[in-house]
């Protein structure tokens, strides 16, 4: 098993920070070593230095993406933090909009985006939302986006989906696919996915009425968090809802916000402070 030296670790950490904004303190060295060591062995490399050489060359951009995938945790499931979906439903019940544009800005495997789609589809069928609604899911990881587009999940990931929604929007696998669930095409087609680095200028998107940026800010240092949040909020309409993870505390940004509930904010009119 190769050993990750302090010097090489600092170079890997610096590369991840400069390119995708990931922040790894000295205390995360063991975690980085554990997540990358198996990959180093799979490539038959004799050191982490050799692996660093691989991911820093333009010719091996694909391997850099593999490293990013390994260093970011993508644990997720449908209707995670259900109070956020309840608040969104209450807000839409109040407004009854005819159109709605939602952005899942760190969509991972798509659980969040398809959860939102289930809720919006229900509201449309009940006459509480117009038919002109759409969801965009973005992530930096090409691997998780490919999985999201396939829209196939282990049953355990849908443990908080009601039996009624499972019947309306999902197909259960049989035979070799037993234990898997596929999102029905009529719902999946309402969700689009694309690759996006939140730490770089964002191409023209939006504007959006609702933005979810949950459980991703934990990977960034304070300066990067502030830049990412303001960059994302620039695409949220004044009055729109902004969701972060309930454990991510007060959101650092210059954009004026009103706190509504843990992890939920409304963007206020006016320029960034």
Give yes or no: 209 in active site: no
Please report, for the chain, how many H helices and E strands are present, in that order. Answer: 10, 10
Q: Which of 111, 139, 165, 267 is catalytic?
A: 139
The structure tokens listed for 33 are 């070593």
The answer to whether 93 is annotated as binding is no
Residue 132 CA to residue 119 CA, distance in Å, equals 14
**What is the maximum span of the chain, computed from C-alpha positions, in angstroms?**
62
Rounded CA separation 29/50 (Å): 17
Please check if 139 is assigned to a binding site.
Answer: yes
In angstroms, the CA 166 to CA 181 distance is 9
Write down the catalytic residue from 35, 128, 157, 190: 35
What does the alpha-carbon distance between residue 137 and residue 124 come to, in Å, rounded to a whole number? 20
Where do runs of H (alpha helix) occur along the chain?
6-20, 29-42, 48-55, 61-71, 82-95, 111-125, 142-150, 163-169, 185-188, 222-233
CA Rg value for the chain:
20
User: CA-to-CA distance for 139 and 142, rounded, in angstroms?
Assistant: 7
User: Does 74 count as an annotated binding residue?
Assistant: yes
Instruction: Reduce the DSSP state of residue 96 to 3 states and report it.
Output: coil
CA dihedral sign of residues 236, 239, 243, 247? positive
Q: Give the SS3 label for residue 109.
A: coil
Preceding omega of 63 cis (within 30 degrees of 0): no
Indicate the annotated binding residues: 74, 76, 80, 112, 139, 197-198, 214-215
User: Would you list which residues are annotated within the binding site for S-adenosyl-L-methionine?
Assistant: 74, 76, 80, 112, 139, 197-198, 214-215
Active-site residue set: 35, 139
């Amino acid at each position: 098993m190769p050993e990750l030296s302090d010097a090489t670790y600092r170079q890997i950490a610096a590369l991840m920070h400069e390119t995708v904004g990931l922040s790894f303190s000295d205390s995360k060295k063991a975690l980085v070593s554990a997540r990358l060591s198996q990959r180093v062995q799979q490539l038959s490399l004799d050191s982490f230095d050799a692996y660093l050489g691989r991911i820093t060359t333009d010719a091996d951009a694909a391997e850099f993406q593999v490293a990013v995938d390994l260093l970011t945790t993508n644990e997720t499931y449908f209707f995670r933090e259900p109070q956020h979906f309840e608040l969104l439903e209450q807000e839409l019940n109040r407004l009854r909009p005819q159109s709605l544009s939602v952005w899942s800005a760190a969509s991972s495997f798509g659980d969040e985006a398809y959860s939102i789609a289930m809720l919006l589809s229900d509201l449309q069928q009940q006459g509480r939302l117009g038919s002109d609604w759409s969801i965009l899911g973005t992530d930096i990881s090409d691997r998780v986006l490919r999985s999201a587009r396939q829209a196939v999940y282990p049953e355990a990931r849908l443990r908080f989906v009601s039996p009624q929604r499972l019947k309306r929007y999902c197909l259960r696998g049989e035979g070799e696919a037993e234990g898997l669930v596929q999102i029905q095409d009529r719902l999946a087609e309402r969700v689009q996915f694309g690759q996006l680095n939140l730490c770089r200028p964002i191409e023209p998107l939006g504007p959006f009425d609702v933005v979810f940026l949950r459980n991703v800010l934990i990977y960034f240092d304070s300066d990067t968090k502030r830049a990412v949040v303001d960059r994302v909020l620039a695409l949220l309409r004044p009055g729109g809802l902004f969701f972060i993870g309930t454990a991510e505390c007060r959101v650092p940004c210059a954009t004026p916000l009103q706190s509504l509930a843990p992890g939920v904010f409304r963007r206020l009119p006016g320029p960034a402070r």
